[in-house]
Amino acid sequence: MSQRSTISKIAPPTLLQRPLTLGELTHIVENMEALRSCNDWITNYLAKPHPQLGRSGSVCPFAAPAMTKDTLRIAVVRLAEGIDRKSQIVEAVRQYQDAFLKLSSSEETQILHAIMILFPDVRDHEAAELIDATKEELKGGFIEQGLMLGEFHAKNASPGLHNAAFTPLRSDIPMLAIRRMVSTDYVFLNRLDYDAGTRLRYLERYLNASGIAASSLRRELEQAVASLRAELAAQNV
């Protein structure tokens, strides 16, 4: 058998989209611990059921399909010394927000796209100030574009929807995740720990951006908006 015929039977390297530059390879090697931790977290936590979840299925119902379609994107952002740390995080998230909107996808895979932005330099005691506060600061602009911004870190105390004793948004590596909005996201926008003005602003933006047609959910949201407007009007009397 000739060398040519032998080579022709070798399967092409389908997993390699393109060769890496030396700079890209160096970045991966320097951040291997964070990348490996994130990979394990997605594979063994997000994409798997959890006994405390309070419902069937995986912690994130989109994680396993996204892994199958290879639509998850992971970024590692290191913070420079001598520059305001929060401003660096805000700028990084805004840049990846623009990058997310430029991702090409089919109608089938559009909802499965996500960019997870890892911040390994954020310490646990800084997460509320740097991760949670950044999420709240940028959340309105994301909603207007039909996007959601999620926060994950080791001390995240946000309760689960089906079990208040479960804290599903915890991860060893602090991160902010960008994804497209889905119909069930309204529960994250109408939280009782938000004041009435904030809830009204989020729900109005959600109704404009989410594309929910006439349905029981839309009627429920419109009723919630009307109720919040009435509540605020009564406060101003």
In the prediction, which pLDDT does 210 show? 62
Give mean pLDDT in consecutive 10-residue pieces for the chain, a chain of 237 residues: 45 66 95 97 97 95 94 97 96 97 86 96 97 95 90 95 94 97 81 86 81 74 91 85
Bridge partners of residue 180, in order along the sequence: 147
Q: What are phi and psi of 176, to 5 degrees?
A: -125, 135
pTM of the model: 0.84
Phi, psi of 59 (to 5 degrees): -55, -45
Strand ranges (DSSP E) for 62-214?
72-76, 114-118, 147-152, 175-180
Q: Give pLDDT, residue 62.
A: 93
Q: What tokens appear for 116 in the block?
A: 């997870």
Structure tokens at 81: 């010394």
CA torsion through residues 8, 14, 17, 23, sign: negative
Q: What whole-number distance in Å separates Cα of residue 82 and Cα of residue 64?
A: 40
Q: How many CA atoms lie within 13 A of 237 on its CB side?
A: 7
Q: What confidence score (pLDDT) does residue 227 get?
A: 92
CB-based contacts of 22, cutoff 8 Å, min separation 6: none
pLDDT of residue 4: 46
